[in-house]
Chain A
Amino acid sequence: ELKVEQNPLFLSMQEGKNYTIYCNYSTTSDRLYWYRQDPGKSLESLFVLLSNGAVKQEGRLMASLDTKARLSTLHITAAVHDLSATYFCAVGNAGGTSYGKLTFGQGTILTVHP
């Protein structure tokens, strides 16, 4: 059974600081997603990571994937208030193609304050 664990679950950051959210998963998978969710809203796709060593960056966010360690990271650089949201990682289910089935981490609630 695929398990996905994120940490930390709660993150309070000062503006301008850097921090990393970690996503560990228990079995091999064909893909890993990072999503952002604002309160009362749906999930917004941030990154899709498909291969070992993949690194993607968008603005102040950078995601990486290490399939051997079964670990993905979401790094936040020089945080700003607009980044306050809940961040989820989600892993495509094991056993070849995931058929659109995802297992989600618990989510990290990020609050950026002055």
Chain B
Amino acid sequence: NAGVTQTPKFQVLKTGQSMTLQCAQDMNHEYMSWYRQDPGMGLRLIHYSVGAGITDQGEVPNGYNVSRSTTEDFPLRLLSAAPSQTSVYFCASRSPGGHEQYFGPGTRLTVT
């Protein structure tokens, strides 16, 4: 199993550009989520999904869109990047009956 994978590892965007951060898992987990990590603030939940076709907002959803068309993939879209979105982004997954929450390797995004 590859676990949770994220691409790209690093990205630099200019203000106003759009992009999609990819997240995939091969463990057949129904629960998937996106977090951002900023210095001194721990990780904060952006969006989450409990299964294909079902998504909901987390603590800091503004400026981000998600969709979940398959169990495996949960992309995060930035429609118009802003410097405040400079952060490290982590995707995570868990099965409903499982205890472990698995995190991907992260994407480091810089918006100039």
Contact = CB atoms under 8 A, between A and B. Distances in A.
Contact of A88 (B32, B42, B96): B42
Contact of A48 (B31, B44, B100): B100
B42 A50 contact: no
A99 B95 CA distance: 9
A103 B105 contact: no
Interface string A22-62: 00000000010101000001110100101000000000000
Interface string B43-65: 11100101000000011000000
Given A48-B99, A102-B35, 8 more contacts: A31-B99, A41-B106, A43-B43, A50-B99, A90-B42, A100-B33, A100-B48, A103-B45
Interface of B: 31-33, 35, 40-45, 48, 50, 58-59, 90, 92-94, 96, 99-106
Contact of A100 (B42, B90, B101): B101
Contact of B42 (A31, A42, A97, A106): A106
A105 B41 CA distance: 8
Interface of A: 4, 9, 31, 33, 35, 41-43, 45, 48, 50, 88, 90, 97, 99-107
A45 B105 CA distance: 13
A42 B103 contact: yes
Name B's interface SS. Answer: strand
A1 to B, nearest CB: 9
Contacts of B103: 35, 42-43
Contact of A102 (B41, B45, B93, B104): B45
Nearest to A86: B42
B110 to A, nearest CB: 14
Nearest to B4: A42
Nearest to A4: B42
A14 to B, nearest CB: 25
